[in-house]
Structure 1
Amino acid sequence: MKKWSMYAILVALLAVSFMLPPLQAQAAAVLKPGAVSGDVWDLQYRLQLLGYYPSKIDGIYGWRTTKAVASFQRDYGLPADGIAGTKTWNTLRKFSVNANELTMLAKVVHSEARGEPYIGKVAVAAVVMNRLQTAGFPKTVKGTIFQPGAFTSLADGQYWMTPDKTAYQAAWDAARGWDPSGGALYYFNPKTATSSWIWSRPQIKKIGQHIFTK
C-alpha cells in the first residue's frame, strides 16, 4: 500500500470531512456507476484508505471507483459487481473508517495512549477496529467509542483534547489494517486498573504500559 506523508493525510482528512453530509455514515445509499453524491466521497475515502483507490477523491462514481469496489469485493468474499450495495457497505464499515471517524480514532489514541510507544498507540486504535468486527459490540466507530464504560477518557473528559499528528498517523495505520494488539478487544494499565473483571480476561501481550486482552 502506498505510504502517505502525514501532511497529505491531514490535508485529505480535512478536505473530505467538510464535503461529507452529516448523516452519510448512518444510511449510505446503494451506489452504482454514474452516481454523484456525498456518499461517493465517503466510499472513495474508505477505499483509498485501504489502498484500493489511488485516484483523486471527487465524488464521481466512474470506472476507477467501480474497479476499486470490485477489487475490494473480491478480496472480502463478495460478488465483484462493482456496485456498492448493502453487503459491500456493511463489510467496508467493518474494516475502514471515514474522515470523521478517523478523527474519533485519533482522539481515542491521544487521550488513552499519549505516553505510549507508537506501536502501543496503534494497538489502542486497533482495539476499536477489532470491536467493529466482533459480535456484541456496536457496529459503528462512534457507537463503539461512546459505548458507556468503553473508554476512561470519555468519563474524565480527556477524549475532547486535540489529537496530535502522531495520533492521526496511529489511527490511520490501525484503520488500514495494522493490529499490533494481536486481535485484542480490551486493554488496561496494570498499575491503575481496579476492576477484577478486566484482570480475568485472557491476556495477549503487553505493549508499553498497557496489557491487551481478549
Structure 2
Amino acid sequence: MTIKKLIISSLTAIMALTAAIPANAASGEGHTVKEGESLYKIGTKYGVSVVDIKKANGRENHHINPGEQLTIPVTVTDAEKDVLARLVEAEAKGESYGGKVAVAAVVLNRVDSKEFPDTIKDVIYDGYQFSPVLNGTISQPASEESKQAVREAIAHHGLGSGSLYFFNPDKADNAFLNQREVTTIIGNHVFAR
C-alpha cells in the first residue's frame, strides 16, 4: 500500500468515527419547554445545573416559556453521575431522599473548592474521605432514588449552602469536623462547611 493510499484510508476512517459521535455529546442537546416546566425541573431531568442551563442560553433570570427551545449543556458525564450515585447509595442508604441529595451536593461543592480536587471522581477517591471507597461498597450499583438524588443535586448546584463535609456524630468523633460551621442536619448526618 502506498503512502498516499494509507493517508486516504486513515482520513476516511477518522471521518467515519467522527460522524458516529453524536453532535450533541460535547455541546449539549436541545429541549423544548413544556407547560408547567421550570429550569429546576429541566435541570433535574437531565442532571444539569440551573446555573449552567442559564449560561448556555444567555439567561439572567429563571423565566421560560412553553415551546421555547433550550440548549442543555453537558457538564457532568454519565460516568461521573454513576460514581456519584454509587457513593450516595453507600453513604446514605437508609437516609431520607433529602439526605441523599445533600450528600451528592457535598461532593459537587468540593469540586468547586480550592481545598479539594477538581473532578467528581478525584474528590470521591481522594485518600480517606469516604468510607465506601475504603470498604469497597462504592462498587455496588446505585438505586434509582440515589440516581435521582444526584440529578437533583446537580440541578441545584451553585444555589445551596456550600456544605463541604458531612458526618454521622454517632459514628464519627472528629475534632476537625466538630469545629466546622453546621449548615444543616438531615437524618443521621450533620452537614458543615
Question: Is the structural similarity TM-score above 0.5?
Answer: yes
Deviation at 1:71, TM superposition (A): 4.8
Tell me the residue number matched to 2:190: 211
Of the three residues 95, 101, 110, the one matched with 1:122 is 101
**Are 2:187 and 1:187 equivalent residues in the alignment?**
no
8 Å Cα contact 1:121/1:167 also seen in 2: yes
Pairwise CA distance, 1:74:
3.2
8 A Cα contact 2:97 2:149, kept in partner? yes
* TM-score (structure 2 length as normaliser): 0.65
Pick one of 66, 76, 79 that aligns with 1:100: 79
1:153 aligns with 2:157: no
Equivalent pair of 1:132/1:141 in contact (CA under 8 Å): yes
Question: Which letter does structure 2 place at the counterpart of 1:44?
Answer: G
Equivalent residue in structure 2 for 1:74, among 48, 53, 58: 58
Structure whose CA Rg is larger = 2
Distance 2:180 2:90 in 1: 23
Pick the aligned partner of 1:198 from 169, 177, 183: 177
% identity of equivalent residues: 30
Count of matched residue pairs: 148
Q: Measure the CA separation in 2 of the matches of 1:100 and 1:125.
A: 14
1:190·1:210 contact (CA, 8 Å) conserved in 2?
Answer: yes
TM-score w.r.t. length of structure 1: 0.59
Q: Is the 8 A contact 1:125 1:170 kept in 2?
A: yes
**RMSD of aligned alpha carbons:** 3.2
| Alignment equivalent of 1:41, drawn from 19, 25, 49 | 25
Instruction: Give ranges in structure 2 of 5+ residues lacking alignment.
Output: 1-17, 32-38, 46-51, 61-72
CA distance in 1, matches of 2:192, 2:23: 35
Quick one: which of 165, 184, 189 aligns to 2:144?
A: 165
Indicate conservation of the 8 Å contact 1:131/1:185, yes or no. Answer: yes
Provide the C-alpha distance between the structure 2 equivalents of 1:39 and 1:139, rounded to a whole number of angstroms: 26
Shift of 1:206: 0.5
Q: Distance in 1 between matches of 2:184 and 2:81?
A: 25
Shift of 1:195: 2.0
State the 1:124 CA deviation: 0.3
2:121 maps to what in 1? 142
Is this contact kept in 1: 2:108–2:157, CA < 8 A?
no
Deviation at 1:171, TM superposition (A): 0.6
Structure 1: which 5+ runs fail to align?
1-34, 55-67, 77-91
The aligned counterpart of 1:30 is: none
* Distance of 2:106 and 2:54 partners within structure 1: 28
In the alignment, the residues of structure 1 paired with residue 169 and residue 159 of structure 2 have an alpha-carbon distance, to the nearest angstrom, of: 19
Q: Which moved more, 1:132-141 or 1:202-211?
A: 132-141
Alpha-carbon displacement from aligned partner over 1:136-161 (angstroms, at most 9, x marks no partner): 21111111111111211111111111
Higher strand share: 2
The 8 Å contact of residues 122 and 180 in structure 1, kept in 2 or not, is answered as no
Q: What is the letter of the counterpart of residue 166 of structure 2?
A: Y
